Every structure is written in C-alpha cells, then in structure tokens.
C-alpha cells in the first residue's frame, strides 16, 4: 500500500484502545433490556428451591407401585391435595398418595409423580374431584419420575449470567432469582452534529445549490439502533464560533462520544480541526477501506471524537465499522465482535484492493446465502443502500472475485 494507510483492523484497535468504559449504574429490571450487564450474576439459591412436581398427577412412593399392572392395579389412599404455592401438610406413608399440581412441592416420603392420565382419575375440564379417596395405578414408576429435583437448573453460587447484553430471556432469569434492579453500564450518550454550509433541515424549502441534511438522521437512527442515547448538537455552519459552540454543547450535555459528519476531506474541515487542535487533539487517519477512507479521530476537552465523511454511504459504513464498536466498547465490551455470515457471490466482483464494504442483497439458497450487488456503488448513492440487506466485505489486497466465491457479509436487517 502507498503512504501510511491504516488497515481497518488496526484503526479500529487504535480507536477502541483510547476508550474507557462508562460508569456502572443500577437500573430497574424492566429498564435493562438491551443494556450491558456490568457484573457476573451468581445464583442466590438452588433452583428449583424444592423438589417440584412437573405434572398434574399423584405423588407416590415408587415402591408401592412395583407390582402394579392393568390386571392388578395398585390402589392407594389419597391423603391430601397439594396445589402450587402451598406446602404439603402430611408425610406420605406406605399405601398413600397425594394429589399434586405442576409446580407444587413434593410431600415428604414421595419419590415419584404419576401423571393423572395414567390413573383411573380424570381431571379434564374444570372437574377436579377432591372427594375421591382411592386411586388405581396400572403400572410401576421409576423413582424420580416427573420430579424436578432441587438444584436441577443451577446451584447456589453458580454463575448464571456473565457480562453481556441483556435479552428478554436474561431479564426473565434475573427475575427468577429475585433481582429487582440490575447493574448495567450507563447508556452511551452520543453527541451528534453535522457540518457544512450546503445543508438544510428537512421540511425547510430547498434553495438552489443546497441539500437536505440526511446524515444527521441516518446516524441518529444508527445510534439509537445500537443502544445509544443520541444527543443532537445541531448543524454547525462553517464558522469557527458556531463549530466551537456546537462542541461546547457536547461538553454541557456530558456526552461520552462526539460524532460529526462531513468536512474530513482535505482542506474543508478547517474549523472543526482548528477547534479540536486548540482544545484537544485530532488525527486524520487514512484508512485502507472503501467507501470512507478519510476518517478523523481525536478528542475535544477529553471527550473522544470521531469525524465521519460526508458522503451518505461513507457515513453509514463508517458508523458500522467504527462507531458501533466504539459504543459497545464504552458500554464495557472490551472485545466488540460482530457476527458475519459466509455468502456465495452470484456475480463476479472487482475491487480496487482496499477493504471494501459493498451493498448487496443476499438471499437464502439451499444451505447458504447467495449475494447480488445492488447497483452502482457510488458513495453518495443512498438508494443502493436502501435496496441492500447486507454489506459484503471484500478483504484488502483482493481485486477480483469470480462468481461462486465465498465472502463475509454483515446482515443489516
Ligand atoms: P465533505 O465530506 O464535506 O467533502 O462532503 C462530501 C459530500 O457529502 C458532499 O457531497 C456533501 O454535500 C455531502 N454531505 C455532507 N454532509 C452531509 C449531510 N449531513 N447529509 C447529506 N450529505 C452530506
Ligand atoms: Mg463539506
């Protein structure tokens, strides 16, 4: 490669190494969905906490049914009914059984449960006779049948959740072990601004020579999608005082990461550069990727800063490649990783040898996926991104791939 081009991998590693995880806060369980758990969680008690019936039926002593058959059923005396949530009142002795419901505590003396369907009883519908005093059993039962033993799922002290992003099932597990609040990393406050004299807010009339500020909306939406609190800092015109004021807004808002779009191509970024150099630092990194080669990294008054290119597709790809892992890293994930899938090319691909992120549609085909590019790959062509459901990643150094070759892809939906 020519002059000091950074690989995507090295650029990302350098960026992430400069970030510190956000502080930890305790939030109510129902506000923790999608947040990153900040501590390993250990089971405060065995689960199940008591021997539990897994069926509606009868708790028995398996020895009592040893000789039971169709011809010679075992007849047991019903001593009580045990609903879920109530403790049994009696110990089971030889010749006795207790009606038991799913989730109810097994009575002392019992070592198995026989489902009601396997007896001469019939509890269908709402008819639950509690006046039946004798029940017939037609077969033997193994000790332990239909019982969830104490600690079957996990033992007290065992790590049941390690640091991770919380999904609905993790929220449920935390509730199951009695957590009302949970320690998570504070959500990332992402301070976003766009820059450029050509930009107009959507909804306003569009004078000649101007364009609507679409990046603000794409990037804010990406930020939200990846779990950040997006703080809109405004549209900075190309005036030093305005750029300064916009950056100061980020400080006042206490953002964790400053993100700007446009003006990182040479010569056009003077005021953001000037402000960052005056109050922090700024590096222009020429990253060996396409789209989005010129990317700015630095800090403003100690707040990390990322400057994405202005071209709408470059801004989008730059976010996926750098800002998304930065958000994850600020949320305590030291090793943000992204799942990719292997797809088969449905057409040949030519690239210029930089690591390329190509817009594509992938579809299921037999066991795998097949990919087609979505039209011309110009970095301003947001429409071809809208038709895409994946980004194909062509590694650096590769200039040609034949149809049928396998490449990695990020699924966008
Ligand atoms: P720049 O990075 O300033 O050289 O801008 C590159 C291209 O992106 C130019 O065509 C800009 O008009 C366009 N652009 C810059 N900012 C935005 C934005 N916020 N929304 C949409 N397009 C933009
Ligand atoms: Mg510009």
269-318: per-residue pLDDT in tens?
A: 568 888 888 899 988 788 999 998 788 899 999 999 999 989 999 999 99
What distance in angstroms lies between residue 19's CA and the mean position of ligand 2's atoms?
27
Q: Residue 241 CB: number of other CB atoms within 10 A?
A: 11
Report the predicted TM-score, pTM, of the whole model to 2 decimal places.
0.88
215 in Cβ contact with 323 (< 8 Å): no
> 250: Cβ–Cβ under 8 A, 6 or more apart, which residues?
191, 193, 231, 233, 258, 300, 303
What distance in angstroms lies between residue 263's CA and the mean position of ligand 1's atoms?
7
Q: 210, 217, 311: which to mutate for ligand 1, most atoms within 8 A of CB?
A: 311
**Which amino acid residue places its CA nearest to atom 11 of ligand 1?**
310
Q: Provide CATH code, domain 24-47+153-185.
A: 3.90.105.10
For domain 52-148, the CATH superfamily is: Molybdopterin biosynthesis moea protein, domain 3. (2.170.190.11)
**Which amino acid residue places its CA nearest to atom 17 of ligand 1?**
310
Tokens linked to 409: 């892809």
Domain 8-23+187-330 has CATH 3.40.980.10: yes
Binding pocket residue ranges, ligand 1, CB within 6 Å: 194, 196, 198-199, 211, 213-216, 261-265, 268, 309-312
Domain 341-411 has CATH 3.90.1150.10: no
Q: Spell out the SS3 assignment of 146-176.
A: CEECCCCCECCCCEEECCCECCHHHHHHHHH
How buried is residue 88: exposed, middle or buried, by Cβ count under 10 Å (0-12/13-18/19+)? buried
Q: Please report, in tens digits, the pLDDT of each residue of the chain (413 residues total).
A: 445 789 999 999 999 999 999 999 999 999 999 999 999 999 999 999 999 999 999 999 999 999 999 999 999 999 999 999 999 999 999 999 999 999 999 999 999 999 999 999 865 444 455 666 899 999 999 999 999 999 999 999 999 999 999 999 999 999 999 999 999 999 999 999 999 899 999 999 999 999 999 999 999 999 999 999 999 999 998 888 999 999 999 999 999 999 999 865 656 556 888 888 889 998 878 899 999 878 889 999 999 999 998 999 999 999 999 999 999 999 999 889 899 999 999 999 999 999 999 999 999 998 899 999 998 888 788 889 999 999 999 999 999 999 999 999 999 98
For the chain, domain boundaries: 8-23+187-330, 24-47+153-185, 52-148, 341-411
């Amino acid at each position: 490669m020519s002059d000091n081009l950074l690989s995507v991998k090295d650029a990302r590693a350098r960026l992430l190494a400069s970030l510190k995880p956000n502080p930890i806060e305790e939030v109510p369980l129902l506000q923790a969905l999608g947040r990153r758990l900040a501590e390993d969680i250990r089971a405060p008690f065995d689960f199940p906490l008591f021997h539990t019936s897994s069926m509606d039926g009868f708790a028995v002593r398996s020895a009592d049914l040893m000789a039971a058959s169709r011809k010679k059923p075992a007849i047991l005396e019903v001593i009580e009914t045990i609903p879920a949530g109530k403790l049994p009142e009696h110990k089971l002795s030889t010749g006795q059984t207790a009606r038991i419901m799913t989730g109810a505590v097994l009575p002392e003396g019992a070592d198995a449960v026989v489902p009601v369907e396997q007896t001469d009883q019939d509890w269908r519908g709402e008819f639950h006779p509690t006046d039946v005093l004798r029940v017939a059993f037609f077969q033997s039962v193994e000790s332990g049948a239909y019982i969830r033993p104490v600690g079957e799922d996990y033992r007290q002290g065992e790590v049941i959740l390690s640091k991770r992003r919380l999904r609905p099932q993790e929220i449920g597990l935390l509730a199951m072990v009695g957590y009302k609040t949970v320690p998570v990393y504070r959500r990332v406050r992402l301070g976003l601004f766009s820059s450029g004299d050509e930009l107009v807010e959507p909804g306003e009339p569009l004078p000649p020579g101007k364009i609507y500020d679409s990046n603000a909306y794409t990037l804010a939406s990406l930020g939200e999608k990846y779990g950040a609190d997006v703080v809109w800092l405004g549209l900075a015109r190309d005036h030093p005082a305005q750029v300064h004021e916009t950056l100061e807004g980020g400080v006042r808002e206490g953002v964790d990461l400053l993100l700007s779009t446009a003006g990182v191509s040479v010569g056009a970024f003077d005021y953001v550069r000037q402000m960052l150099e005056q109050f922090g630092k700024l590096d222009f990194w020429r990253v060996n990727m396409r789209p989005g080669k010129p990317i700015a990294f630095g800090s403003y008054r100690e707040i990390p800063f990322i400057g994405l290119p202005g071209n709408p597709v470059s801004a989008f790809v730059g976010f996926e490649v750098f800002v998304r892992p930065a958000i994850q890293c600020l949320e305590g994930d030291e090793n943000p990783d992204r799942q990719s899938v292997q797809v088969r090319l449905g057409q040949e691909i030519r690239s210029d040898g930089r690591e390329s992120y190509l817009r594509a549609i992938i579809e299921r085909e037999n066991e795998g996926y097949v990919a087609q590019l979505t039209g011309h790959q110009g970095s301003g062509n947001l429409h071809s991104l809208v038709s895409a459901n994946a980004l194909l990643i062509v590694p650096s150094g590769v200039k040609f791939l034949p149809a049928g070759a396998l490449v990695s892809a990020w699924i966008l939906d």
